[in-house]
Amino acid sequence: MAAFFLELFSEEIPARMQARGAEDLERLVAEALAPLAPRAARRFYGPRRIALALELAESVAETRIEERGPRLNAPAAALEGFLRKHAAAREDVREQDGYWLLSRTRPAQPAAALIAAVLPGLIRRFPWPKSMRWGSASPFTWVRPLTRITCLLDGAVVPFTLAEDGDDAHGLAADHRSEGHRFHAPGWFIVDNADSWQAELRNRFVLADPAERRAAIAEGLARVAGAAGLRVVADDGLLDEVTGLVEWPVVLLGRIDAAYMDLPPEVMQVSMRVNQRYFALRTADGAAAPAFAFAANIDAPDGGAQIIAGNERVLRARFADARHFWDLDRTIRLVRRNEALENVVFHAKLGTQGQRVRRLVAACAGIGPAVGADAHLASQAALLSKADLATGMVGEFPELQGVMGRYYALHFGQPAAVADAIRDHYAPRGPSDAVPSAPVSIALALADKLDQLVGFFAIGEKPGGSGDPYALRRAGLGVIRILTENGLGAGLRGLIAQASEQYPSSIVSDAARPALVEEVFTFLIERLRVQLRAQGKRHDILAAVFAAGTDDALPHLLARMTALEAVLATPEGADLLAGARRAMNILRIESRKDGPFEGAPDAALFAEPAEHALAAAAEAAAARIGPACAADDHATAMTALASLRGPLDAFFADVTVNAPDPALRRNRLQLLARVRAIMDGVADFSQIEA
Q: Is residue 471 part of a domain?
A: yes
What confidence tier does 690 reach under pLDDT thresholds 50, 70, 90? low
Same domain, 526 and 655: no
Task: Please tell me the distance from the alpha carbon of residue 20 to that of residue 386, in angstroms, as a whole number.
Answer: 36
Provide mean pLDDT across the span 586-602.
87
95: domain CATH number is 3.30.70
Q: Is residue 544 part of a domain?
A: no
Q: Determine how β-strand 156-157 pairs with β-strand 174-175.
A: unpaired
549 pLDDT exceeds 70?
no
Chain CA centroid to CA 612, Å: 55
Give the mean pLDDT of the chain. Answer: 93
Provide mean pLDDT across the span 471-492.
94
Same domain, 35 and 182: yes
DSSP state of 244: T
Round to the nearest angstrom and report the end-to-end CA distance of the chain: 50
- Which three-class secondary structure state does DSSP give residue 279? strand
Residue 240's identity, in one-letter code, is: D
Q: What tens digit of pLDDT does each residue of 331-358 get? A: 999 999 999 999 999 999 999 999 999 9
pLDDT of the residue at 638 = 87
Of all helices (H) and strands (E), which one includes residue 415? none
Looking at the DSSP assignment, which residues form a beta bridge with residue 93?
Answer: 102
Task: Please tell me the distance from the alpha carbon of residue 294 to that of residue 273, in angstroms, as a whole number.
Answer: 10
Q: Is residue 42 part of a domain?
A: yes
Looking at the DSSP assignment, which residues form a beta bridge with residue 54?
Answer: 4
Q: Which of 53-62, 294-303, 373-382 has the lowest mean pLDDT?
A: 53-62
DSSP-assigned states of every residue in 43-66: EEEETTEEEEEEEE-SEEPPEEEE
- Which three-class secondary structure state does DSSP give residue 450? helix
Exposure string for 418-450, b = 16+ CB within 10 A, e = fewer: bbbbbbbbbbbeeeeeebbebbbbbbbbbbbbb
Instruction: Please say which residue of 276, 294, 329 terminates a domain.
Output: 329
Listed residue (597, 621, 635) closest to 679, CA to CA: 621
Give me Rg for the CA atoms of the chain.
35
Beta-carbon neighbour count of residue 554 at 10 Å? 24
Same domain, 119 and 95: no
Task: Please tell me the distance from the alpha carbon of residue 60 to that of residue 37, in angstroms, as a whole number.
Answer: 9
pLDDT of the residue at 569 = 85
Q: What tens digit of pLDDT does each residue of 139-191 get? A: 999 999 999 999 999 999 999 999 988 888 999 999 999 999 999 999 999 99
Residue 565, C-beta contacts closer than 8 angstroms, at least 6 positions apart: 537, 538, 541
Of all helices (H) and strands (E), which one includes residue 97? none
Listed residue (379, 467, 360) closest to 417, CA to CA: 379
pLDDT of the residue at 632 = 79
Same domain, 481 and 625: no
% pLDDT > 90, the chain: 73
Look at the chain and report how many structural domains it folds into. Answer: 5
Same domain, 405 and 494: yes
φ and ψ of 352, to 5 deg: -95, 170
Q: Please answer whether residues 218 and 234 qualify as being in contact, where contact means their C-beta atoms are separated by less than 8 angstroms.
A: no
Same domain, 291 and 216: yes
**Is the whole model's pTM more than 0.95, yes or no?**
no
Instruction: Please say which residue of 48, 83, 106 terminates a domain.
Output: 106
Q: Is residue 549 part of a domain?
A: no
Q: How many CA atoms lie within 13 A of 153 on its CB side?
A: 20
Same domain, 611 and 481: no
627: domain CATH number is 1.10.730
Looking at the DSSP assignment, which residues form a beta bridge with residue 232?
Answer: 281
pLDDT of the residue at 242 = 98
- Among left, alpha and beta (phi > 0; psi -120 to 50; other), residue 98 is left
Provide mean pLDDT across the span 512-522.
95
Same domain, 578 and 477: no
Q: Is residue 218 part of a domain?
A: yes
pLDDT of the residue at 211 = 97
Provide mean pLDDT across the span 8-36.
96
Q: What tens digit of pLDDT does each residue of 88-145 get? A: 888 888 888 889 898 877 778 899 999 999 999 999 999 999 999 998 889 999 999 9
Q: Please answer whether residues 690 and 645 qualify as being in contact, where contact means their C-beta atoms are separated by less than 8 angstroms.
A: no
Task: Please tell me the distance from the alpha carbon of residue 237 to that of residue 190, in angstroms, as a whole number.
Answer: 35
Looking at the DSSP assignment, which residues form a beta bridge with residue 147?
Answer: none
251 pLDDT exceeds 90?
yes
Same domain, 392 and 517: yes
Of all helices (H) and strands (E), which one includes residue 179? strand 177-179
Provide mean pLDDT across the span 473-489.
95
573 pLDDT exceeds 70?
yes
87 pLDDT exceeds 80?
no
What confidence tier does 550 reach under pLDDT thresholds 50, 70, 90? low
DSSP state of 276: I
Decide: residue 56, CB within 10 A, 0-12 exposed, 13-18 middle, 19+ buried: buried
Q: What tens digit of pLDDT does each residue of 487-496 get? A: 998 999 999 9
Chain CA centroid to CA 459, Å: 24
Q: Is residue 100 part of a domain?
A: yes
pLDDT of the residue at 103 = 82
What confidence tier does 498 reach under pLDDT thresholds 50, 70, 90? very high
Q: What tens digit of pLDDT does each residue of 191-206 get? A: 999 999 999 999 999 9
Looking at the DSSP assignment, which residues form a beta bridge with residue 99?
Answer: 71, 96
Same domain, 153 and 257: no
Same domain, 497 and 396: yes
Task: Please tell me the distance from the alpha carbon of residue 100 to that of residue 48, in angstroms, as a whole number.
Answer: 50
Q: Please answer whether residues 404 and 329 qualify as being in contact, where contact means their C-beta atoms are separated by less than 8 angstroms.
A: yes
DSSP state of 405: H
Q: What tens digit of pLDDT does each residue of 265-321 get? A: 999 999 999 999 999 999 999 999 999 999 999 999 999 999 999 999 999 999 999
For 570, the domain range is: 563-687
- Which three-class secondary structure state does DSSP give residue 162? coil
Looking at the DSSP assignment, which residues form a beta bridge with residue 178?
Answer: 189
Task: Please tell me the distance from the alpha carbon of residue 285 to that of residue 289, in angstroms, as a whole number.
Answer: 10
Instruction: Please say which residue of 149, 172, 203 terminates a domain.
Output: 203
Q: Is the dihedral of CA 496, 502, 506, 511 positive or negative?
A: positive
Q: Please answer whether residues 341 and 352 qualify as being in contact, where contact means their C-beta atoms are separated by less than 8 angstroms.
A: yes
Q: Is residue 391 part of a domain?
A: yes
437: domain CATH number is 1.10.3210
Chain CA centroid to CA 211, Å: 23
Q: Please answer whether residues 146 and 9 qualify as being in contact, where contact means their C-beta atoms are separated by less than 8 angstroms.
A: yes
637 pLDDT exceeds 70?
yes
Q: Please answer whether residues 586 and 597 qualify as being in contact, where contact means their C-beta atoms are separated by less than 8 angstroms.
A: no
Same domain, 468 and 530: yes
pLDDT of the residue at 301 = 94
**DSSP3 helix / strand / coil % (the chain, rounded to 5):** 55, 15, 30
Peptide bond into 660 cis (omega under 30): no
pLDDT of the residue at 682 = 85
What confidence tier does 426 reach under pLDDT thresholds 50, 70, 90? very high
Q: Determine how β-strand 146-153 pairs with β-strand 174-175.
A: parallel
Q: Is residue 541 part of a domain?
A: no
551 pLDDT exceeds 80?
no
Out of 47-56, 67-76, 677-686, the most confident range is 47-56
Chain CA centroid to CA 468, Å: 11
